[in-house]
Amino acid sequence: MIRGVIFDLDGVVVDSHPLHEEAWRSLLSEAGLDHSFDPGFIYSGLSRREILERYLGPLSEPEIHGFGQRKDEIFSGLVHQVEVQPGLLRVLHQLRAAGLACAVATSAGAGRTHELLGQLGIAQHFQAVVTSCDVRKTKPAPDVFLEAAARLGINPHEAVVIEDSVAGVQAARAADMLCVGYDRGEQAQALRNAGASDVIADFPGDMVSYLQQVADSISISQRRD
């Protein structure tokens, strides 16, 4: 039985990927790495530390903090351009009307996460918000999703995760949660390979019925196995 839905932030709740790409390009350009940027890597759901060290090599905690702070400053200058994903507000209202709790679970930091949700006026739709600052390990570890479920007061197997990254799908499956991939590009097969039960390019018209159908199909498959 589904009792809660946990959403990833970037690429699922908000259409922020183009702005993150611009912010990372600017940051790496300032560090003299104009020609080494790989957009696909930053969308893979990895932590900020992993992204920074991928391009800059091993870094101390003060260096991680400094580069991270600068990236946030650049992103904050662009944040007014961020929009909620099409159909999300309708989905959130549907889930609330059906008595399903909603949470955000992200590898992003607390400051940027709450800034985005507040600016877009959607923070009140989520009963829990879990960021990288709340857990020891980020995706693909299951920590953020397990913490989100705990804050919602539900068991992991009662949650459905909506994710757009391979690391996020892996984290959801590691948490023993049903996962639906969200992809508006070319990652659909990669999300399925990582363990997504289904992949959508847009939110369904009736999200509650859709999620129940996905859950039912998994139950039938397990019974056959």
Q: Tokens 């996460």 appear where?
A: 113
Q: Where are the domains of the chain?
A: 4-15+83-224, 17-80
Residue 209 CB partners (closer than 8 Å, separation 6+)? none
pLDDT tier at 38, thresholds 50, 70, 90: confident
In order of 26, 106, 154, the CA distances from 157 in angstroms are 41, 19, 8
* Active-site option among 8, 72, 143, 164: 8
- What tens digit of pLDDT does each residue of 193-214 get? 999 999 999 999 999 999 999 9
Task: Give pLDDT, residue 221.
Answer: 52
Task: Give pLDDT, residue 114.
Answer: 93
Looking at CATH, the fold of the domain delimited by 17-80 is given as DNA polymerase; domain 1 (1.10.150)
8 catalytic residue (yes or no)? yes
Mean pLDDT of 166-178: 96
User: What is the CATH code for 4-15+83-224?
Assistant: 3.40.50.1000
- Give the pTM: 0.84
By residue count, the chain amounts to: 225
- What tens digit of pLDDT does each residue of 95-135 get? 999 999 999 999 888 988 998 899 899 999 999 999 999 99
pLDDT tier at 56, thresholds 50, 70, 90: confident
Task: Give pLDDT, residue 163.
Answer: 97
Report the distance separating Cα 196 and Cα 188, nearest Å.
9
Task: Give pLDDT, residue 225.
Answer: 43
